[in-house]
Each structure stands twice: as structure tokens, then as C-alpha cells.
Amino acid sequence: MSTVDAAPAVPPEAAAAQLVFQLATGHIMASALRSALIFGIPDRLVDGPRPVADLAREAGANEDALYRVLRALVSVGIFEEPSPRTFALTLPSRMLMSGPGTLHGLVRWICDGAPMRAHAEMEYSVRTGKPAAEKVFGMAVFEYFAAHPELSEIFNNGMTSFSAAIIPTVLEAYDFSGITTLVDVAGGHGQVLTSILEKNPEMRGVLVDLDHVIAGARPKIAALGLADRCNAVAGDFFKDVPAGDAYVLKHIIHDWDDERAGAILKNIRARLAGQPNGRVILIESVIQQGPGPDLGKVVDLEMLVLPGGRERTADEFAALFARSGFALTRIVPTKSAVSVIEAKLA
């Protein structure tokens, strides 16, 4: 029987190298995570630990290859291996099961091959300041979505997944009552708007997005029994927005540079003219000052590479609002990674 000597203390230089390698190989772990979702591994473990041979046979995967993927994911806490070649869920992998309120759709999008291809060309964005997606796809990323319905569905499902995960924290932190008609600008499949309407039965809503997105939203609104209070319309927010007395935008302003973000806000301001209590409500990350860990700083690079937008600090939000005819009134943190950023007519 062999024994294994205790590992020696790790010197600072080795720890630093380990950090570098962890960052440099991040795309490999993202690919492994994507594979686990494509083969439905979290869902297949819902009833308890299972041998990898069973998982591979059921999922149509190569047993050895699947084992190596799951072994790697165990090493970072996504799954656990309670006995040799048998795998089980952990809290992180439970969050990756399919269904409402999980992170499955969002992670499936983040790890998809299309955004990964764009991130591989980040050098282009750093050199030019332009989104690498335009170099990779030959067109703006949202135009590419419209031309590729399968990818568009992955993206919209990802945004719905994210919205479902964070909207309870938004509703806990911010009071939407008193709004007569709430317009959700570029609201995807309506997860944010329908959640707000369900909590505020006196409110009416208008969901506006592109044609191909609205087509996927209408059945979801009807299934929730909200078709009589929620109108879904196709539109271009760079040209106009529907009438309302308040406007909510979740992770929309961050898609755009200041000029184009300002154009959206000015169209909203034109609709709010004469309504002293009108307001615009952004659900976004707010970049924190200082060197500490900040998910917003990571998402900011996604905005750089894909649509060409940016995350913003509190001061940058205030300046953007001021240029668009609004005054920042408050920023309300939530228990999630986003804040509610409110502005009223200046």
C-alpha cells in the first residue's frame, strides 16, 4: 500500500503562477461547463449520485470523455464525486438545472461558442475601441442574432434566466407602485415586466422589442394570464418608444456607448414631457471604485467585445442622464449583482 507525502507549502511565486494559469485556462472550464449543460448533466443528477457510465449512455456521450469533463468540474466545485466515477450535484450545479429561476439559460449563453469566438478577438477591441463581434460576424451582434434564430433563442433564454434570478431582489428593494403604465424597453420575453405586473395588479404594461423577440414574448405573457394588462409591440427604441408614465430598462443602456444610450433616453424623455412624476428606471450593474472584485468590471469587457457598450459608475450614470434631460434621483442596491437606478425629468 503506497502513501502520498503531504504537499509542501506553496511559495508566493507558485501561487501567483497558479492564479495566472487559472485565468489563462478559463475558456477551457467554460467549454467544460457548456458541455455539461448541453448533455443535461445537472438535470440527470436530480435524484441523486449516478455513475458516469449511466450518464454517458443516457446522454449519448463518450464515457471516458464525459468522465474527464466532470472530473475537471469537480475540481472547481461544480459537481462532487462521492465515490470513484460517480457524480452528484453541489449547490452550484443545482443552480444550473433547467427551469425557471435558475442560471441555466444565462450560463448556456455566456459559454456559447458565438460569444467565445468574439472574446478570442478582444485584441481587436483593445486596439480599435470597436466591438470584436463586428469583426468576427461581419455585422453588429444584434443584427447577427436576427439573422440566426437559434443563437437569438439562446441569447433571449439567457436574458430571461438572468432576469428571473435577479427580479425578486429588485422587487424587494424598489417600490414600483403608483405607476399607471410601465413600458419595458427592449424587455426580451417580458420576464421583468410580467414579474412587476404580477406584484402590482393595478398597473398596465407595454413590452417593446424587435419583431423576432416579441414573437417569442407573446405566448409567455398569455400563459401568465396577463394578456389583458400587457401589450407586446414591435419597435425600434432609437426611433421612438410607446407612451407611458414610467420606463424600465434592464441591461439595455449598458449595450450602447454614451451617444446611442443618450438617444434612447432622449426618446423616453420626449414621451415623458409634461409628466412631472415620470421616471426612467434602469436595472444595471454600477461599477464600484477601487481595485476590489466587481462582476461589473468583467461584464464591462463583454460589452466592449460584443455590442460595443459599457458598464458605468454612479458618476457616469449621472452625467449620461444630465446630457439626456434627466436628473439621477437615487441608486438602490439589491441583494444581487444589479442596482435600481432611478432618474426623473430635470
**pLDDT over 60 at 284, yes or no:** yes
Instruction: Tell me the fold of 15-97.
Output: Arc Repressor Mutant, subunit A (1.10.10)
| C-alpha to C-alpha distance for 273 and 266, rounded to whole angstroms | 10
| C-alpha to C-alpha distance for 333 and 314, rounded to whole angstroms | 12
- DSSP reduced 3-state for 38: helix
Give the pLDDT of residue 178.
95
Marked catalytic residue, from 104, 119, 251, 254: 254
- Give the bridge partners for 331, in sequence order: 341
Distance of CA 306 to the CA centre of its chain: 13
| C-alpha to C-alpha distance for 131 and 135, rounded to whole angstroms | 8
> Treating both helix axes as pointing N-terminal to C-terminal, what angle do 314-323 and 258-272 enclose, rounded to 10 degrees?
60
Give the pLDDT of residue 166.
95
Contacts of 28 (CB under 8 A, 6+ apart): 72
Edge-to-edge strands of the sheet including 204-209? 230-234, 204-209, 181-185, 246-250, 279-284, 339-345, 326-333
pLDDT band, residue 1 (cuts 50/70/90): low
Contact, 139 vs 151, CB < 8 A?
A: no
Q: What confidence tens digit (pLDDT) does each residue in 89-132 have?
A: 999 999 999 988 899 999 999 999 999 999 999 999 999 999 99
CATH 1.10.10.10 domain position(s) in the chain: 15-97
Residue carrying the nine cell digits 421612438: 240
What does each C-alpha distance from 126 to 119, 129, 271, 336 come to in angstroms? 11, 6, 37, 29
Give the pLDDT of residue 225.
97
Which one has a higher pLDDT value, 320 or 18?
320
| C-alpha to C-alpha distance for 233 and 181, rounded to whole angstroms | 14
Q: What angle do CA 47, 48, 52 make, to 5 degrees?
A: 110
| C-alpha to C-alpha distance for 294 and 308, rounded to whole angstroms | 20
- Give the bridge partners for 234, in sequence order: 209
Question: Catalytic site residue 254?
Answer: yes
CATH 3.40.50.150 domain position(s) in the chain: 165-345
What does each C-alpha distance from 9 to 6, 12, 61 come to in angstroms? 9, 10, 39
Q: What confidence tens digit (pLDDT) does each residue in 304-314 have?
A: 999 999 999 99
pLDDT band, residue 330 (cuts 50/70/90): very high
pLDDT band, residue 5 (cuts 50/70/90): confident
Distance of CA 201 to the CA centre of its chain: 27
Exposed/middle/buried for 286, CB within 10 Å: 0-12, 13-18, 19+? buried
Give the pLDDT of residue 2.
60
**pLDDT over 90 at 177, yes or no:** yes
| C-alpha to C-alpha distance for 174 and 155, rounded to whole angstroms | 27
Q: What confidence tens digit (pLDDT) does each residue in 251-264 have?
A: 999 999 999 999 99
Buried b / exposed e along 229-248 (16+ C-beta atoms within 10 A): bbbbeebebeeebbebbbbb
The dihedral formed by the CA atoms of 314, 319, 322 and 327, expressed in degrees to the nearest 10? 10
Among candidate residues 110, 113, 77, 107, the one with its CA nearest the CA of residue 92: 77
Instruction: Tell me the fold of 165-345.
Output: Rossmann fold (3.40.50)
**Separate counts of helices (H) and strands (E) for the chain:** 17, 12
**pLDDT over 80 at 4, yes or no:** no
CB atoms within 10 A of CB 200: 18
